[in-house]
Amino acid sequence: QCILSGSWRSDTGCRMVVSILSKDGSFSGSYLPGPAASDPKILTSPLEGSQQDAGLVPQPTFSFTVHWRLRARTTAFLGQCYVGTNGEETLHALWLMREAAESPAEDWKATR
């Protein structure tokens, strides 16, 4: 049914844990990047997001942001949950990361 609550792992080893969705589709949780297993300085970072009502559409869209704890960065994710013929749920998402720029002249390189 594509409910985001639970634990998810990406192809690159990133981990996301999502709390129970609220009635309005909002959720919170935590995110840990894939390379973090080898770097003890990287902490799990909080995430906040929302999911389209899965009762209205079988494969809902979602969005969430991660506010990195040790760096002046925020990443926004936007995607959709798909249910395969075997019933397995898969998330497909794009992301955009913004770091703090030193000045307006440096703004051009602050978004990836």
Place of tokens 């935590």: 30
Q: Per-residue DSSP letters for 28-72?
A: EEEEE-GGGGG-TTPPPEEEEEEE--TTT-SS-EEEEEEE-SSSS
Domains of the chain: 6-106 (2.40.128.30)
pLDDT number for residue 1: 77
Tokens of 46: 């909080």
Place of tokens 């997001």: 49
pTM of the complete model: 0.85
Tokens of 48: 């906040």
Please give the chain's pLDDT, 112 residues, in tens: 788 899 998 888 888 999 888 989 999 999 988 765 556 666 789 999 999 987 888 899 999 999 987 778 899 999 999 999 998 999 999 999 999 999 999 999 999 8
pLDDT number for residue 58: 86
